[in-house]
């Protein structure tokens, strides 16, 4: 089996603020990320799929199909957006990178069988680098 990882980038802004918490607690938990005006990141998303080598094509994953899926389900929805106000899934959920990884995984899983109608490849994991130091990863089997 091969694991094939593709790298994608998008820029988005957000504010980390949990409405069920008071202002002081939000400031204490989220620090400068709780700025009322928000802040932005240049996110790097790595999408990993796993599958056997196709002897006819020499590929384990059709990279063009993966690129179309990620562009349509993720990049178009998040690039140059305010996650809090322009992405409905984050109206009630704090748009942390952990929650963003879960949402990206859900979106890809919903479109996966259309992009890849056979048994293989399978979505393996999502990895997001929010900053050089803050990197988050989730396996697709951990997301409903």
Provide, rounded to the nearest whole percent, the portion of the chain with pLDDT above 70. 100
Provide, rounded to the nearest whole percent, the portion of the chain with pLDDT above 90. 99
pLDDT in tens, 31-78: 999 999 999 999 999 999 999 999 999 999 999 999 999 999 999 999
Tell me if residue 105 is catalytic: no
**CATH number for region 2-142:** 3.30.479.10
Complete DSSP assignment for 37-106: T-EEEEEEEEEEEEE---TTTS-SS-HHHHHHHHIIIIIHHHTTEEHHHH-GGGSSS---HHHHHHHHHH
- Quick one: pLDDT at residue 80? 98
- Quick one: pLDDT at residue 11? 98
Catalytic position from the list 14, 17, 33, 105:
33
Catalytic position from the list 23, 39, 80, 114:
80
Helix (H), strand (E) at residue 11: strand 2-14
Tell me if residue 33 is catalytic: yes
Catalytic position from the list 14, 17, 105, 130:
130
C-alpha closest to that of 10 among 33, 49, 40:
40
- Quick one: pLDDT at residue 131? 95
- Quick one: pLDDT at residue 58? 96
* Predicted confidence band of residue 101 (pLDDT cuts 50, 70, 90): very high
Stretch 131-142: mean pLDDT: 97
Provide φ and ψ at 25, rounded to 5°.
-65, -40
Stretch 96-119: mean pLDDT: 97
**Any idea where the domains of the chain sit in the sequence?**
2-142
- Quick one: pLDDT at residue 68? 98
CA distance 47 to 124: 8
CA distance 117 to 27: 46
Stretch 108-130: mean pLDDT: 97
Confidence (pTM): 0.95
* Predicted confidence band of residue 84 (pLDDT cuts 50, 70, 90): very high
């Amino acid at each position: 089996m091969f694991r094939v990882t593709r790298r994608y980038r998008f820029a988005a802004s957000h504010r980390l603020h949990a409405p069920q918490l008071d202002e002081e607690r939000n400031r204490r938990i989220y620090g400068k990320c709780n700025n009322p005006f928000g802040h932005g990141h240049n996110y790097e998303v790595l999408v990993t799929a796993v599958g056997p080598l196709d002897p006819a094509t020499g590929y384990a994953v059709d990279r063009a199909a993966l690129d179309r899926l990620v562009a349509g389900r993720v990049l178009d929805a998040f690039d140059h957006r305010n996650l809090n106000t322009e992405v409905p899934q984050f109206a009630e959920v704090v748009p942390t990178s952990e929650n963003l990884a879960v949402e990206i995984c859900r979106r890809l899983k919903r479109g996966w069988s259309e992009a890849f109608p056979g048994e293989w490849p399978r979505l393996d994991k999502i990895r997001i680098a929010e900053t050089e130091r803050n990197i988050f990863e989730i396996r697709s089997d951990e997301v409903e």
